[in-house]
Amino acid sequence: MSSDYANRAKKYFKEYRQFDTHHTVGIRNPMKKKPNLFVEKDKALVSRVKAAKNLKKTVEKAINLIGGLKKSFKKSDSILLIPNYNSDNPYPASTDIKFLEAVIKILQDFGIKDITIGNASGIHWLPTRYVFERMGVLTLAKKLNVKISCFEEKDWLMVNLNSDVLSNVSFAKEMFDYDKIVYLPCLKTHRRARFTMSLKLTMGLTCLKHRILNIHSGNIEEKLADLNKAVYPDLIIMDARKIFVTGGPDTGKEKTLGLIYASGDRAAIDFVGLKDLLKYKNEDNLLDKPNPEDYDQIKRAFKIGLGIKNKNQIKVINS
């Protein structure tokens, strides 16, 4: 653990203790594993769409190429959206507010009315409500009549991960209350985890103390995969129009990749995204291996069966 991170951790324990007053309201088993409905002949579909000027139409196209919302969603569903608001740094460090708006409008056009945007920001940038305000999320939520949830303001629930690399971790208790969960990751390098996409995004659902004590304490890449045993999102839509190819998660060298991805499988979409990110591997020694399956997040996700178990179970749809 770096001295900078350790100092911030001490500050968190001292100044943000009130965020953990409901830390141990109970323990439960992980969310029941959901089947990925965005498949074709037993292969997980991943759409890879070149971004057009009309962002909403691009996102719709990415979703429709894997079967459309009708494959998994109903108008009566309650939806928890998990964007990337670890920090209040601008896109691609954080979710682009226009991308978030496009996704919400697509869900609303489908007929879904019960939508909540939820997150717990990183220790460096707490509280989440401040990040939401800075990034325009509170204003957008009011405009589109959707709800906001700052997880550290509410109850945490310990989840039994049954992992040989990671201790049990507390998650936002309310994540078990929604019919469907939609992940909205960015694609970028990450100083501690090498890269961050949908597998890493699950950190935004976890208790701040456990991020420090259980996850950032070492072997973070494998731990991130096991963290995903707790929760099963129904859809992932990843914004990779702009990406970081060095540094991350908050700052780094930007490149324009110009893509939007969609899938129902975290290992599959991260594999495809990492394959694109590796085109820039000479930019940063974080990416020091030639193939996506060589990286511990992906390797471990395959091994524990979060979704697909190897790259041959992926079908990429380019457009």
- Domains, the chain: 3-318 (3.40.50.11440)
CA 94-98-104 angle, 5° bins: 100
Instruction: Please determine, for residue 171, whether its predicted confidence score (pLDDT) is greater than 90.
Output: yes
> How far is the C-alpha of 196 from the C-alpha of 298, rounded, in Å?
11
pLDDT of residue 228: 97
Instruction: Please determine, for residue 20, whether its predicted confidence score (pLDDT) is greater than 80.
Output: no
Q: Is 105 helix (H, G, I), strand (E, B) or coil?
A: helix
Instruction: Please determine, for residue 136, whether its predicted confidence score (pLDDT) is greater than 70.
Output: yes
Instruction: Please determine, for residue 8, whether its predicted confidence score (pLDDT) is greater than 60.
Output: no
43, 230 contact by CB (below 8 A): no
178: region left, alpha or beta (phi > 0 left; psi from -120 to 50 alpha): beta
Beta bridge partners of 150: 119
Q: Span 168-193, mean pLDDT?
A: 96
pLDDT (tens digit per residue) in 304-313: 999 999 999 9
pLDDT of residue 153: 86
pLDDT of residue 1: 42
Instruction: Please determine, for residue 231, whether its predicted confidence score (pLDDT) is greater than 80.
Output: yes
Q: Span 34-45, mean pLDDT?
A: 96
In percent, the amount of the chain with pLDDT more than 90 equals: 83
Q: Span 221-250, mean pLDDT?
A: 97
pLDDT of residue 25: 75
Q: Span 212-227, mean pLDDT?
A: 90
Instruction: Please determine, for residue 293, whether its predicted confidence score (pLDDT) is greater than 80.
Output: yes
Q: What is the largest CA-CA distance in the chain?
A: 53
Q: Span 204-214, mean pLDDT?
A: 87
pLDDT (tens digit per residue) in 83-97: 999 999 999 999 999
Instruction: Please determine, for residue 143, whether its predicted confidence score (pLDDT) is greater than 90.
Output: yes
List the structure tokens of 270: 């991260």
pLDDT of residue 21: 43
> What value does the mean pLDDT of the chain take?
92
Q: Return the closest-CA partner of residue 228 out of 306, 160, 175.
A: 306
**Helix residue ranges, H only, the chain:** 3-15, 55-65, 97-110, 128-134, 137-144, 198-201, 208-210, 220-227, 266-277, 296-304
pLDDT of residue 18: 44
Instruction: Please determine, for residue 38, whether its predicted confidence score (pLDDT) is greater than 90.
Output: yes
Instruction: Please determine, for residue 27, whether its predicted confidence score (pLDDT) is greater than 90.
Output: no
pLDDT of residue 16: 52
pLDDT of residue 7: 61
pLDDT of residue 26: 83
Which comes out higher in pLDDT, residue 73 or 216?
73
pLDDT of residue 295: 97
pLDDT (tens digit per residue) in 74-85: 999 999 999 999
Out of 24-38, 151-165, 249-263, the most confident range is 249-263
- The lowest-confidence range among 2-16, 42-56, 180-194, 250-264 is 2-16
